Structure 1
Amino acid sequence: MTDNAYLAPRLTLRVGVTGHRPKDLAEADHDALGKAVQDILERLATDTRRLGEQAEPGLYADEPACMRLASAIAEGADRLVAEAAASRGYEINLILPFRRRQYADDFDGDALADYWRWFEHPAVTSCTELDLGEPGDQREAGYEAAGHLVLAHSDVLLAVWDGKPSRGRGGTAEIIDEARLRGLITLWLDLQGQLHLWVPREHVVEPLDDGDWKALTPGDISQLLNDRLEQLLLLGRGPDDASCPLKGLGDFARQTPRPRTRHCVHEWLRALLVRDVPFAASVDLGLERERSGAWKETLRAAHHLGGDSYEATLDQRLRQRWIAADNRAIDYAHRFRSAYTTNFLLAALAVLVGLLAVLAWDSKGVKALLVSMELAIIAGILLITWLGRRGQWQSRWLAYRSLAEAIRPARLSLLIGTSPVGAAEPPVDNGRFDWIPWYVRCSLREIGPPDAVVSGDSLRRALDVALHEEIDGQIGYHQKTAERLETQDDRLEYLAKGALWLTLASGVLYLVCYLVYLNGPALPAELYKPVATLLGGFLPVLGAAIFGIRATGDLRAAAQQSRRMSQRLKRLGSKLTSRLNTPERPVVRRLLGQLQLTMADDLKVWSMIYSERELVPGF
């Protein structure tokens, strides 16, 4: 466990390889091809390390950059690149389309002996074997799945390609197209050793058409490739302080997870209205509970897939980051909600004290005391507003919640050996939030493929985790949240309307007293006049304050969104349940991707609801 919210990631660059077997490399200039492979791998490693030295202090962990290569070690291009990478200090992640003994049937003679040597190679840090059942008709599906898995664990694709269309599923051209669709840095080595970089146009509509292959000279490699790597690995500086992502990340880096908060006014209001929480002087943020109990099923599934090492990696690289982001998000949510609740209630109280001062007109001492109290209340409102804006309670709540909600569903893809292609977008169009997807991608980039066999049993376990720990948990959360928010909204509405009805009743009662005064006795009107003045001035303001709390919290819209999410998750849960007995890797991967997109959509709607609810000093 750590006391820092920001866990600096290790600088990591992942390179994937695809290319032809020896029979399709017969016309290649092997010397030129071999030298080009060595040069580009050296260039990638050198530029990555240099960018790490240029990075802001603390952006990355204080450890050497990690260079990884994902390869299926087929004869030809795969092994050519793997040999060059291993000699340059790259870690090698083997991605096999079948179990290793089944895959061995693809090789014979020296190629088979070389294949078996790779499993003992010191550069190899993991071997992920796909078990799609008996090879037979599954061979092309296995090659395709392995190619996509290589891409999932790559930031750069190096393709040794003759420029011709694919000759089957999972062929080189198909993998290159998929890399461009995913936005990977895509490098093509032709058979004469000429290196090309896919350069997308400024406004991309069709990723496979809106761009060009740029033949690189040594100077081009230094400039064009470095620019792409810098966009991938570093955080840019905004044109001003308000749009600087480095400042947003720096703010998060200074955070410390906390077990409790004393910003509890909103919880008191909830306890008064809904009565599902007790009144307390502080609010439990759930830090110890999450540290001891969060993601239990996820960690068990990770251990079953990749043993102690993979379980520890997911715990340290992902779970701990989620706990920190979730804790800070909950804390700042309480700060912001308690601040605007307090401001509205204090504004009503200031009006009440001001009215009492009017009623105490004949007593200068009492009047002075009440005026002092009113000024103190107004000063308190201004101070709370200043503290909230200076501390960026609203924007930090949105940012840290966005980070937590981007990390949590991302873990599911890791349980089937793959890695999410991207991360959730920032919640609003604000450059300072650009650090969120950068940090999530860096965290995922650290997690290499598991040293494991990914079988049907692994797919079922991943579906179980998605169903029980993600979907069921989120459905329960949204249903409970919707009920609680609707109850709060209804009761706040009743209170606000009640204040207006009481104002009306008070006015009617005074008019009755006045009619009595016109016909004789003056005492009722004289006695009730100050009370009517007080109630007539205070109750409408109290009603407006309650409506202000309602509007700022936008409780009804948030409740409706929770209802919609609950229904969407139920439908998605039914799809996942239908695949438990016959899990197929492409279908499971697609369903987990749908779940991640569903959670991202909810995040965007939720952000739209709350992003404009700024902290104000009253109404």
Structure 2
Amino acid sequence: MSDESSFRPRLVLRFGITGHRPPRLVEDRHDTIKEQCAEIFRLAQQSLEELQPRHPDVFSSEPAQAKLVSSLAEGADVLAAEAALESGLHLSACLPFPPEVYAKDFGEEEWRRTAALIEKADSILALTDYSRGDEAGYEIAGQIVLGQSDILVAVWDGEAARGRGGTTQIIAEAVARHQPVIHVDATGGSEPELLWSGLHAAIPDRPSVDGVERADARKALPALIEALCAPPASNGQAFVRDMIDPQDKRRERVVAWPMMLGLTGARAWSKLNFTPGDAGESVRQSRDLALPFAQNGHFGTMLNGPLLKRFGRVDAHANYYALRFRSSFVSNFAMAGLAVLLALSGLLFPEAKKLLIAAELLVILLIIANTRGANRINFHARWLERRHLAERLRQLMLTATLGRLSLRDVEDGTRDPGWTSWYARASARELGLVNATFDREYLTKARDTMVALIADQAGYHRNNARAMHHANHRLHKLGDWMFSGTILACIAYLVLSLTIGTKVGIGRFGMTEIVTFLTALFPALAAALYGIRMQGDFAATSERSSVIAHRLERLKVAIEMDPLRYDRLVERSRRLSEIMLADVQQWHLHYETRPLSLPG
């Protein structure tokens, strides 16, 4: 895979399968069920092959690929897996127990059939936390299959659940999280139906199996695949160029924001960086997330190759646009203060009034050009979009090692998800199921990786909280000094005017001119400092980073005290994702209401 093509996701669609086992699934229905599944898979592959040529600038040139994830239990799982392989799909196996334990749940003939499918699977995940026949093992495997799937194929008789983690429970959960379900009737009473909240005119918050809209699966499938896999039609060209441009030119020096941090003491001068870090630096800083899993088959290759590169590029772009946006508003307020200084200097240097007015006009024009340029490029929106995507990809590198692709966890997918969510999902589909046995050694590796990420992020937020608090405190104090200077100048003028008169001055400058200059300049500079504080949101950022660091540190302690179990690690990884993405959401809320504008 070339360096440029590694940033173009491959067009991949992922099916999951859930369904009944004998005796609930009667044998005389097997051939019909298998043929209906095969028809769905062939139609899906055809739809993917028609979709890919319509977006050559977005998808890689690799052939479009449909995959099935299955627990390969006797009955529906095996029938769908055989249909998938015969239809040209790839198969991934998610087993509730290691194969040698799982075999004891089968008869000899049935196990030979399942074992043959396991041999053909391109990746195999096996849980080890559960004993033979434990329903919890089947439930967890079903949850993994659900999390790995764009579309769930459900071979179901329409009746209520008869056990933990059964077909009905999995279908209900899929519908509730807005995941499309293709119902293959296990009784033969109806043709395959699509159950999906995306069919509703007004999408319900939490749809149910009984209330969700239905459609003919064969007729609806091409449009469904288009909705799930096609890139969004709006406002995506800049994003695509950013991601696939082989020449990354975002390395110019940016001065205003780093200078402000240095002048306020928020950063040591020796640690100021006037040039944004490149993608290689972001990759190096995050390599420890991916490297421990390098030997886990295709998953490990993807994780340490294209996915890590994609994260590195988008993280570097997010840092670049953040630096440009922050420098833009710092420059604006600094130049606004300079414009006031130039205007007031005419009181002290009347002979240079024309030159000062010309300089003031130039500064004002620079402020306008800076504001319009920043808004035209849309620095703040690009920053937040890319920061959101970077965090999604960072979390994916962690959660995917536990079998969680988060295809339906963030947005419900029934509306235009935007380029960032689309790109994260496309990358997750391509990454797929990890090839691993979730034994103690593997879970220890996953836990240690999670703990290391939490420690790194907690340290970052602790440092950021201190830096932002320090910058806010210094800017606040400096503003207070400006107002104090204004008060002192007013008092000095009143005292001197009442005692020795206003004729005195300093050199060629009279007292009236000096006091007028200072009492106008100091409040203007204080207002500029206040504008920087409010636009930069220093106080709230410091508080937010402090809270996030505290939550991360508590989570780290909890993980280290937990028994080493898969379900606990999954729950902790969900909590970590919530904490990290909440920070990005807060930035969105802040800057949606405070776009860059002319200071005034």
**Same fold by TM-score greater than 0.5:** yes
Q: How has the CA–CA distance of structure 1 residues 6 and 83 changed in structure 2, closer, same or farther, with 3 Å as cutoff?
A: closer
Match of 1:43 in 2: 43
Residues 459-488 of structure 1: CA distance to partner in whole angstroms, max 9, x if unpaired?
22222211222x211211111111111111
In 2, Cα distance between the equivalents of 1:617 and 1:554? Answer: 17
In 2, Cα distance between the equivalents of 1:585 and 1:320? Answer: 28
Match of 1:577 in 2: 560
Match of 2:229 in 1: 233
Q: CA deviation at 1:314?
A: 0.8
Match of 1:73 in 2: 72
Q: How has the CA–CA distance of structure 1 residues 229 and 591 changed in structure 2, closer, same or farther, with 3 Å as cutoff?
A: same
Match of 2:449 in 1: 465
Larger CA deviation: 276-285 vs 378-387: 276-285
Q: How has the CA–CA distance of structure 1 residues 406 and 49 changed in structure 2, closer, same or farther, with 3 Å as cutoff?
A: same
- Letter paired with 1:439: Y
Q: CA deviation at 1:514?
A: 2.4
**Alignment gaps of 5+ in structure 2:** none
Q: How many residues are treated as equivalent by the alignment?
A: 590
From 519, 523, 537, the counterpart of 1:540: 523
From 123, 126, 137, the counterpart of 1:126: 123
Q: CA deviation at 1:508?
A: 2.3
Larger CA deviation: 531-540 vs 85-94: 531-540
Q: CA deviation at 1:140?
A: 1.5
Match of 1:290 in 2: 282
In 2, Cα distance between the equivalents of 1:324 and 1:2? Answer: 15
Match of 1:88 in 2: 87
Q: How has the CA–CA distance of structure 1 residues 85 and 592 changed in structure 2, closer, same or farther, with 3 Å as cutoff?
A: same
Match of 1:396 in 2: 382
1:462-501 mapped onto 2 (5 Å cutoff): 462-469=446-453, 471-501=454-484
From 306, 309, 325, the counterpart of 1:320: 309
Q: CA deviation at 1:142?
A: 1.7
Q: CA deviation at 1:349?
A: 0.9
Partner secondary structure for residue 569 of structure 1 = helix
From 295, 302, 319, the counterpart of 1:330: 319
Query: Could you tell me whether the CA contact under 8 Å between 1:186 and 1:197 is conserved in 2?
Result: yes
From 547, 560, 566, the counterpart of 1:564: 547
Pair 1:161-2:153 in alignment: no
From 419, 422, 430, the counterpart of 1:435: 419
1:44-193 mapped onto 2 (5 Å cutoff): 44-54=44-54, 56-121=55-120, 124-132=121-129, 135-136=131-132, 139-190=134-185, 191-192=187-188
Match of 2:10 in 1: 10
Match of 1:596 in 2: 577
From 430, 435, 445, the counterpart of 1:451: 435
Residues 219-239 of structure 1: CA distance to partner in whole angstroms, max 9, x if unpaired?
x622x23332222112343xx
From 381, 391, 394, the counterpart of 2:367: 381
From 567, 573, 594, the counterpart of 1:586: 567
In 1, Cα distance between the equivalents of 2:386 and 2:578? Answer: 18
Partner secondary structure for residue 283 of structure 1 = coil
In 1, Cα distance between the equivalents of 2:416 and 2:499? Answer: 66
Query: Could you tell me whether the CA contact under 8 Å between 1:267 and 1:277 is conserved in 2?
Result: no
Pair 1:341-2:330 in alignment: yes
Pair 1:616-2:600 in alignment: no
- Letter paired with 1:500: F
Query: Could you tell me whether the CA contact under 8 Å between 2:258 and 2:273 is conserved in 1?
Result: no
In 1, Cα distance between the equivalents of 2:432 and 2:6? Answer: 21
- Letter paired with 1:465: T
- Letter paired with 2:394: R
- Letter paired with 1:131: T
Q: CA deviation at 1:311?
A: 2.6
In 1, Cα distance between the equivalents of 2:597 and 2:589? Answer: 18
Pair 1:270-2:261 in alignment: yes
In 1, Cα distance between the equivalents of 2:236 and 2:392? Answer: 19
From 394, 406, 416, the counterpart of 1:420: 406
Query: Could you tell me whether the CA contact under 8 Å between 1:258 and 1:327 is conserved in 2?
Result: no
Match of 2:236 in 1: 246
Partner secondary structure for residue 25 of structure 1 = coil
Larger CA deviation: 101-110 vs 394-403: 101-110
Residues 420-478 of structure 1: CA distance to partner in whole angstroms, max 9, x if unpaired?
2436469xxxx997111111111111112122211233222222211222x21121111
In 1, Cα distance between the equivalents of 2:340 and 2:326? Answer: 22
- Letter paired with 2:466: E
Q: How has the CA–CA distance of structure 1 residues 522 and 106 changed in structure 2, closer, same or farther, with 3 Å as cutoff?
A: closer
Pair 1:607-2:588 in alignment: yes
In 2, Cα distance between the equivalents of 1:607 and 1:210? Answer: 36
In 1, Cα distance between the equivalents of 2:154 and 2:544? Answer: 45
Query: Could you tell me whether the CA contact under 8 Å between 1:424 and 1:600 is conserved in 2?
Result: no
Residues 288-323 of structure 1: CA distance to partner in whole angstroms, max 9, x if unpaired?
432334231x2243136x25x433211224222221
Partner secondary structure for residue 92 of structure 1 = strand
Residues 318-377 of structure 1: CA distance to partner in whole angstroms, max 9, x if unpaired?
22222111111111111111111111111111111112224333x3xx322222211111
Larger CA deviation: 330-339 vs 286-295: 286-295
Query: Could you tell me whether the CA contact under 8 Å between 1:258 and 1:287 is conserved in 2?
Result: no
Query: Could you tell me whether the CA contact under 8 Å between 1:517 and 1:523 is conserved in 2?
Result: no
Residues 482-501 of structure 1: CA distance to partner in whole angstroms, max 9, x if unpaired?
11111111110111111111
Q: How has the CA–CA distance of structure 1 residues 232 and 17 changed in structure 2, closer, same or farther, with 3 Å as cutoff?
A: same
In 1, Cα distance between the equivalents of 2:43 and 2:244? Answer: 35
Q: How has the CA–CA distance of structure 1 residues 5 and 608 changed in structure 2, closer, same or farther, with 3 Å as cutoff?
A: farther
Q: CA deviation at 1:4?
A: 6.2
Q: How has the CA–CA distance of structure 1 residues 37 and 291 changed in structure 2, closer, same or farther, with 3 Å as cutoff?
A: closer
Query: Could you tell me whether the CA contact under 8 Å between 1:86 and 1:92 is conserved in 2?
Result: yes
TM-score normalised per structure 1: 0.88
Residues 410-429 of structure 1: CA distance to partner in whole angstroms, max 9, x if unpaired?
22222223322436469xxx
- Letter paired with 1:355: L
Partner secondary structure for residue 58 of structure 2 = coil
TM-score normalised per structure 2: 0.91
Query: Could you tell me whether the CA contact under 8 Å between 2:283 and 2:311 is conserved in 1?
Result: no
Query: Could you tell me whether the CA contact under 8 Å between 2:16 and 2:69 is conserved in 1?
Result: yes
**Alignment gaps of 5+ in structure 1:** 238-243
Q: CA deviation at 1:115?
A: 2.9
Q: CA deviation at 1:104?
A: 1.6
Pair 1:198-2:195 in alignment: yes
Match of 1:352 in 2: 341
| Identity in percent | 30
In 1, Cα distance between the equivalents of 2:68 and 2:301? Answer: 22
